[in-house]
Amino acid sequence: MTTECEFKIQGFYSSGDAINAFVSPLGGCMFIRNPFSANTMTGQERFTPTEHAREGIRLSKADAMAKRQEIKEQTITQLSNELWLGRDGDTVVAKACQSAFKALGSPSDKQDAAKQHLLCYAAFKLDKLIENGSYLASPEVNKPILNNIAMMLGIDRHNAGKSALESAARVLVDKAGLDRVDHADRDIKSAVRDKLVQKTLHSLTEEMNHVVDAFFEKHGVQDTDGHSVSAARIDFKIYDGLQAHHQTLREQNINALHSGLV
């Protein structure tokens, strides 16, 4: 049922760009062109409708609100991408990771820190699987997998937590202000900053993986299984551990079925 009548109005921004918008008699304006995109850095551009350019259309209040939210989310994604690319975020993070690793000094210190980083990476990935609702992962399943990875790396499982290398690189990255946002809309400003922080954290993990992989390859470091140590090796061990557990459960269920226990 239609609860709100809106009109499509053709007009122009103060910059001179043509624009279509939906204006509601109940107040508010919903733009076809992103209302923030013309000046995403400040959100200050003003819309002025032309006269005699109305097309009567009808939208429900719920549809109008959903459309506004969709436009807002598109704006947040667009602005965060523009800021990240404009500041060359990946390069800034990569240089910070290289500097943090280089500052460790001796090869022995670097190897210990690199292994601790990969163990933290493994713990992070296992936690993410649970967070994302993977049917394969659970705290009970993840614990022995992480234990095996720690043994493979030759370090204590309790070192899994926050990567010391990522933390050191984060200090350097924060000085660059990659998450700085200037925008008139407070909600958009906050949401864009959150996205930039997430981009930073993701990039820190990926770039530090590249740094430690290069170190392990250069020095020919191997795990206790005789394989080269790398982030890809960690990914494989996680997948292999989850699949092995899934296969064990499957066999147990089949045996229980044959035994008449289920």
Q: What is the per-residue pLDDT across 175-212, written as a single tens digit (0 to 9) for each?
A: 999 999 999 999 999 999 999 999 999 999 999 999 99
Task: Strand 29-31: give its sheet, edge to edge.
Answer: 29-31, 18-23, 4-13, 47-59
- Listed residue (43, 40, 50) closest to 12, CA to CA: 50
Mean pLDDT for all residues in the chain: 82
* Residue 106 identity: S
Task: Mean pLDDT check: name the lowest of 45-54, 195-204, 206-215, 248-257.
Answer: 45-54
Distance CA 112, CA 221 (A): 11
Q: DSSP assignment of 132-144, as one string? A: TT-SS--HHHHHH
Task: Examine the pLDDT at 30 and tell me if it is beyond 50.
Answer: no
Whether the model clears a pTM of 0.85, i.e. scores above it, the answer is no
Position of tokens 């000046």?
A: 39
- Residue 44 confidence (pLDDT): 55
Distance CA 145, CA 176 (A): 37
Q: What is the per-residue pLDDT across 103-134, written as a single tens digit (0 to 9) for each?
A: 998 999 999 999 999 999 999 999 999 999 98
Task: Examine the pLDDT at 29 and tell me if it is beyond 60.
Answer: no
pLDDT band, very low/low/confident/very high, at 15 (cuts 50, 70, 90): very low
Q: What is the per-residue pLDDT across 141-159, written as a single tens digit (0 to 9) for each?
A: 999 999 999 999 999 999 9
- Residue 255 confidence (pLDDT): 65
Distance of CA 81 to the CA centre of its chain: 12
Position of tokens 């959100």?
A: 43
Q: Which residues pair with 48 in a beta bridge?
A: 12
- Listed residue (171, 191, 172) closest to 181, CA to CA: 191
Position of tokens 């045996």?
A: 255
Joined together, the tokens standing for residue 68 give 């506004």
